Amino acid sequence: MEPLANKIRPQSLDEIIGQKHLIGQNRVLRNMIESGRLMNMIFYGPPGTGKTTVARIIANLTDRRFISLNGSLDSLKDLRSALDETETLMGYKGIVIYIDEIHMFNKRNQQILLDYMESGRIVLIGSTTENPHFAVFKALVSRAIILEFKTLDLQDIKDGINRSIEIYKDLNNVDEIKVDDRVLNFISSRSGGDLRKAINSLELILISKEKDNLKSIDISLEDAENILQSKIINFDTDGDSHYDLLSAFQKSIRGSDENAALIYLALLLKGGDIQSVIRRLLVITSEDIGLANPQASMIVKALTDSALQIGLPEARIPLAEAVIFLATCPKSNSV
């Protein structure tokens, strides 16, 4: 099932919630789009603030093809495949390559992008939750403008929820959805400024109420509290929050904090996404352990292969062993 947050994704700048300092009248992004002269950009800010949505709109409004990659999951092969597509525009005026979590792209991948950026064959839009001046390859940062996406305030989140309710009614043939301000405040305040999280919370409540098959849905504060405190929201395994969790998972292992790493492992496995966990463990072995323990690759590969063969839920045992092993290993990034 496609998440409600995807179904209601804004299609124009005027539909975007927040970020008026970037997309308001006579602001830098709007002016750039309206002129049709795009620069390479890095979007920097917390999850759920519209970075991916704005990138898609930019490509659409400037008649450019949109290609999306993820710095934590996609390989050099994936990057080269995307860059190969610059040879044929197929009627488009150009290509926007959007790289989410660009700070997770290794230095080699980031270097490969430089020639394409300088020649104008692509417009690069990277996004990151980290400070790009520290987390992104300096040569790449120097060739892009840094645009900060700010955390949405409470009213922004409430506006986004109200818009979601109207669209949900149309999509699901519901005549009326009654939600008072207490419910809106409750959902908004627990979102942490992340609109996607707020919309996912709303959708979970609405799905729980759908079983009554009513044309009119009345959501009380008690409904919201009971549903959201007893169920885990896990609609968006491709979204920013998922990658933030993976990033925190790696940082815990890098910092030799096995207890925190095991907590993040448990949260990731609750979503059933064993492949992302295994890929990240293999990346950690190469990036963070490296030559400090030459046997680490063999040990972690054996444990992750075992996890794949066993499957969930028992796969958590060899994966936990791999996490503890990596967290307690000496660290080296000499390669």
Q: Per-residue pLDDT tens for 67-83?
A: 999 988 888 899 999 88
d(CA 334, CA 270): 34
Predicted TM-score (pTM) of the model is: 0.65
Helices (H) and strands (E) in the chain, counts: 17, 7
Q: Is the pLDDT of residue 214 over 80?
A: no
Q: Is the pLDDT of residue 307 over 90?
A: no
Please report which confidence band the pLDDT of residue 194 belongs to, taking 50, 70 and 90 as the band edges: confident
More confident call, 262 vs 270: 262
Q: What is the pLDDT of residues 152-191, one digit of tens each?
A: 988 999 999 999 999 999 888 888 999 988 999 999 888 8
Domain with CATH 3.40.50.300 in the chain: 19-148
Please report which confidence band the pLDDT of residue 32 belongs to, taking 50, 70 and 90 as the band edges: very high
Q: Which helix (H) or strand (E) holds 4?
A: helix 4-7
pLDDT, position 31? 95
Per DSSP, which regions of the chain are E strands? 41-44, 65-70, 95-100, 123-128, 145-148, 176-179, 216-219
* Separation in Å, CA 66 to CA 54, 57, 240: 12, 9, 18
Residues, the chain = 335
Domain with CATH 1.20.272.10 in the chain: 240-328
Mean pLDDT within 101-107 = 86
Q: Among 2-16, 157-171, 198-212, which stretch is predicted with the lowest mean pLDDT? A: 198-212
d(CA 286, CA 117): 28
pLDDT, position 242? 65
pLDDT, position 239? 52
Q: Among 31-35, 113-117, 137-141, 274-278, which stretch is predicted with the lowest mean pLDDT? A: 274-278
pLDDT, position 271? 63
Say which CATH class 240-328 falls into.
mainly alpha
Q: Is the pLDDT of residue 236 over 60?
A: no
More confident call, 237 vs 54: 54
Q: Is the pLDDT of residue 235 over 50?
A: no
d(CA 183, CA 140): 44
Fold of 19-148: Rossmann fold (3.40.50)
More confident call, 272 vs 302: 302
pLDDT, position 234? 45
Q: Is the pLDDT of residue 129 over 60?
A: yes
Mean pLDDT within 108-117 = 89
Q: Among 2-16, 22-36, 94-108, 201-215, which stretch is predicted with the lowest mean pLDDT? A: 201-215
Say which CATH class 154-233 falls into.
mainly alpha
Please report which confidence band the pLDDT of residue 30 belongs to, taking 50, 70 and 90 as the band edges: very high
Per-chain mean pLDDT for the chain: 86
pLDDT, position 231? 42
Compute the half-sphere exposure of residue 316: CA atoms within 13 Å on the CB side of its CA: 15
Q: Is the pLDDT of residue 122 over 90?
A: yes
Q: Is the pLDDT of residue 213 over 90?
A: no
pLDDT, position 324? 95
Q: What is the pLDDT of residues 277-301, one digit of tens each?
A: 898 999 999 988 988 898 999 999 9
Q: How far apart are the first and last CA of the chain?
A: 42
Amino acid at 45: G
**101 class by beta-carbon count within 10 Å (0-12 exposed, 13-18 middle, 19+ buried):** buried
